[in-house]
């Protein structure tokens, strides 16, 4: 009897351990910021305006789960204190949904932190870093957050138009892979017209 209970206990312990491992995502570690380029001589006035999200890559993305990812826009409005109000507009459940965030400048031009972070439950740190941009066609922006003591990161490929050129797509893939991501973690948006002119 005692041996049977011991065996049952070991089986249950193994099942609990397997369940705990399955519930923890197998994330690619976020790279240290020193490995992420920072746009030289960042021009905050030129960066402001409307950007279309053409591609995403990150530790939480995968091609199967996000195969229906649709294009959306983010507009950066520069404030007098050099912070940005960033408004994302996306089609959601047959309506246009708007999401507003404020990004506060840091000591490094082109790097920002999320303003009013206490409003976002569980987020302990959130960084936006403009890795590369020509201001008129594209921008690659690195985001890193710590949520409930776990680091996540993503890279957003912005375009001033909804057009994704093969060269821009290839450059984005190369950049994402340089930060440890694989093809599996890189997705590109399906072009749509809904909510894009707001």
Lowest average pLDDT, out of 23-37, 39-53, 113-127, goes to 23-37
Strands (E) across the chain are located at: 49-58, 72-78, 84-92, 95-105, 111-114, 123-133, 138-147, 150-159, 186-188
Coil, helix or strand at residue 11: helix
The count of other CB atoms within 10 Å of the CB of residue 193 is 9
Closest CA to 195 of 72, 56, 67: 72
Domain ranges of the chain: 52-197
**Is the predicted pLDDT of residue 21 greater than 90, yes or no?**
no
* Torsion (CA) 51, 28, 127, 136 in degrees, nearest 10: -20
Q: What pLDDT shows up at residue 66?
A: 65
Q: Report how far residue 132's alpha carbon sits from residue 189's, in angstroms, rounded to the nearest whole number.
A: 20
Residue 68: CA atoms inside 13 Å, Cβ hemisphere, count?
Answer: 2
pLDDT at 25: 55
Give the chain's end-to-end CA distance (angstroms, integer): 71
Residue 8 pLDDT: 34
Residue 150 has, within 13 A of its CA and on its CB side, a CA count of: 10
Whole-prediction pTM: 0.84
Residue 52: pLDDT band (50, 70, 90) is: very high
Residue 143 gets which letter from DSSP? Answer: E
CATH 3.30.70.20 fits 52-197, yes or no: no
Choose between 187 and 16: higher pLDDT.
Answer: 187
Contacts of 88 (CB under 8 A, 6+ apart): 53, 72, 73, 74, 98, 99, 100, 101
pLDDT digit string, tens, across residues 115-159: 988 888 889 999 999 999 999 999 999 999 999 999 999 999 999
For the stretch 56-106, pLDDT in tens is 999 888 777 767 788 999 999 999 999 999 999 988 887 889 999 999 999
Q: What is the pLDDT of residue 117?
A: 86
> Would the pLDDT of 10 be above 70?
no
């Amino acid at each position: 009897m005692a041996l049977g209970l011991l065996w049952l206990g070991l089986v249950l312990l193994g099942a609990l351990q397997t369940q705990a491992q399955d519930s923890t995502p197998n994330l690619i570690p976020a790279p240290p910021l020193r490995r992420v380029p920072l746009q030289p001589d960042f021009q905050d006035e030129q960066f402001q305006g409307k950007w279309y999200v053409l591609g995403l890559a990150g530790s939480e993305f995968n091609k199967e789960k996000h195969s229906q990812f649709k294009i959306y826009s983010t507009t950066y409005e520069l404030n007098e204190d050099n912070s940005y109000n960033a408004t994302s507009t996306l089609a959601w459940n047959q309506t246009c949904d708007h999401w507003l965030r404020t990004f506060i400048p840091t000591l490094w031009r082109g790097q920002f932190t999320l303003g009013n972070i206490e409003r976002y439950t569980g987020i302990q740190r959130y960084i936006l870093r403009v890795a590369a941009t020509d201001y008129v066609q594209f921008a690659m922006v690195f985001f890193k957050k710590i949520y409930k003591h776990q680091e996540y990161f993503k890279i957003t490929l912005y375009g001033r138009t909804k057009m994704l050129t093969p060269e821009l797509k290839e450059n984005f893939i190369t950049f994402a892979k340089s930060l440890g991501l694989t093809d599996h973690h890189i997705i590109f948006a399906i072009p749509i017209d809904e909510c894009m002119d707001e």
